[in-house]
Amino acid sequence: MTATAGPVLTVPDTSSAALAALTSEIASTAASYDRSGDIPEAGLRAVHRGGYLTATVAARYGGAQLDHAEVARVLVAIGEGDPSVALIVANTLAAHLAQATVGNWPEELYREVLGRSVEQPILINAVRAEPELGAPARGGLPATLASRTADGWILNGRKSFATGGTALSYHLVWVVTDESPARVGHLIVPADADGITWHHTWDHLGLRASNTHDVSYTDVRVPLENFSEIPFQDGVYRDPAAASGPASFGHAALYVGVARAARTAFAEYARTRVPTALGKPIAETERIQSVAGEIEAQIVQAETLLYGTLHRLAAGETDVAQSLSVVKVLIARSVIAAVQTAVAALGNAALTRHNPLERHLRDVLCVRVHPPQEDAVLLSSGRSVLRPQT
């Protein structure tokens, strides 16, 4: 496609210094939003101001169209500041990336999205899980129904775990149509459409400011062109989330940021904690130095897996695509191990809400919920290994 004129989007600065400043600014409000559970508006404003919310917009629309590795760097930095902000941002970046590569949005509507994005944070998320079905990656079709009308669709259903909550500007709602044969796909639904009701169900262990509430749709009218189909494969529906792609590494990246934040919290505590019997900071003891080394080893492992895999994909190593889901599992294990190592070494001091390590521990455990989940990945990988050779 040829480039066309559009809104002037802020070019994101991905230098190490700029990302460090972004982390610091977002981190300054993370604890208060964790306590309140409110939408992390300050962090989202900071991300928007720096152009990071539109970093994956295609060059043909005037966007920076950052590659996967650069997007991962951005999300590591945001996740280090506040993973609730990072999760909301990751979902929005994924939507822009899908438009850059597939182009499912009506052109006029997408240009409207970009125009609004110049002035304020425009947040987008795929709203997919359901109370009865659970996560789509586990299989099954949605109960949320898109009924065909003469000029569009009428949407009815209830969804769970809709990250971003009332801050969302657009919902990409996973639906099944009432056609014969039925089709499955996403409806692009403006957040201000009549018939949308939020249910404040999110009271979670971690990512408390992500506002991942339930939402219901009652006779919501949607234009005909706002439907994007996910084709069946050989007559069978296979959800895209059942396997990892490079875009899905954005979720893994933000938890690498959490592990980095835990490393910082551990080091700051160790440098300032001076037990009476010891008479010097615990950072000067070999035990704590060894613990710090183990934390560092886990983070280095996670970062190497994250960036190394994305760079291999960019270099055209197609074989690595078969291992993406396993790599995500290994990154998850590493970041959890890093934070748990820090907490275990400090004991009670790390579990008080006066210490940020307590929050980092709660947040990092959420890495396990993103599809595909570990048990499904290991089962699929194991079956592939044991499949008879031909």
DSSP 8-21: -PPPP--SHHHHHH
- Against a cut of 0.75, is the pTM above it? yes
- Residues of the chain above pLDDT 90, percent: 91
* Domain termination residue (choose one: 122, 140, 168): 122
pLDDT at residue 5 is higher than 80: no
Helix (H, G, I), strand (E, B) or coil at 267: helix
Q: If you average pLDDT over residues 331-359, what whole number do you get? A: 97
Helix (H, G, I), strand (E, B) or coil at 11: coil
Residue 162 inside a domain? The answer is yes
Confidence (pLDDT) at 4: 55
pLDDT in tens, 66-81: 999 999 999 999 999 9
pLDDT in tens, 370-387: 999 999 999 999 999 999
Q: If you average pLDDT over residues 234-247, what whole number do you get? A: 82
pLDDT at residue 294 is higher than 70: yes
Residue 274 inside a domain? The answer is yes
pLDDT in tens, 128-143: 999 999 888 888 899 9
Q: Looking at the structure, tell me whether residues 361 and 269 fall in a common domain.
A: yes
Q: Looking at the structure, tell me whether residues 165 and 183 fall in a common domain.
A: yes
Residue 8 inside a domain? The answer is no
Residue where the block lists tokens 């003891």: 285
∠141-166-125 over CA atoms, to 5°? 45
pLDDT in tens, 165-214: 999 999 999 999 999 999 999 999 999 999 999 999 999 999 999 999 99
197 phi and psi angles, rounded to 5 deg:
-125, 130
Residue 319 inside a domain? The answer is yes
Helix (H, G, I), strand (E, B) or coil at 37: coil
Q: If you average pLDDT over residues 51-77, what whole number do you get? A: 97
Q: Looking at the structure, tell me whether residues 181 and 250 fall in a common domain.
A: no
pLDDT at residue 151 is higher than 70: yes
Helix (H, G, I), strand (E, B) or coil at 233: strand
Q: What is the pLDDT confidence band of residue 3, given thresholds at 50, 70 and 90?
A: very low
Q: What is the pLDDT confidence band of residue 2, given thresholds at 50, 70 and 90?
A: very low
Mutual angle of helices 83-101 and 68-81, in 10-degree steps = 160
Helix (H, G, I), strand (E, B) or coil at 127: strand
Q: What distance lies between CA 48 and its chain's CA centroid?
A: 16
Residue 145 inside a domain? The answer is yes
Percent helix / strand / coil, the chain, rounded to 5: 55, 15, 30
What is d(CA 37, CA 22) in angstroms, rounded to the nearest whole number? 21
Helix (H, G, I), strand (E, B) or coil at 168: coil
Residue where the block lists tokens 């190497």: 304
Higher pLDDT, 165 or 6: 165
Confidence (pLDDT) at 38: 98
Arithmetic mean of pLDDT over the chain? 95
Q: Looking at the structure, tell me whether residues 225 and 262 fall in a common domain.
A: no
Q: Looking at the structure, tell me whether residues 282 and 376 fall in a common domain.
A: yes
| Alpha-carbon distances of 59 from 9, 101, 247, 349, 365, rounded to whole Å | 11, 11, 17, 49, 36
155 residue type, one letter? L
Cβ-Cβ contacts under 8 Å for 128 (sequence gap 6 or more): 135, 136, 142, 159, 174, 241
Q: Looking at the structure, tell me whether residues 291 and 371 fall in a common domain.
A: yes
Confidence (pLDDT) at 134: 82
Confidence (pLDDT) at 91: 98
Residue 96 inside a domain? The answer is yes
pLDDT at residue 278 is higher than 50: yes
* Domain termination residue (choose one: 122, 149, 183): 122
Q: What is the pLDDT confidence band of residue 235, given thresholds at 50, 70 and 90?
A: confident
Residue 212 inside a domain? The answer is yes
Residue 174 inside a domain? The answer is yes
Cβ-Cβ contacts under 8 Å for 329 (sequence gap 6 or more): 374, 377, 378
Domain housing 218: 127-229
Q: Looking at the structure, tell me whether residues 205 and 280 fall in a common domain.
A: no
Q: Looking at the structure, tell me whether residues 248 and 378 fall in a common domain.
A: yes
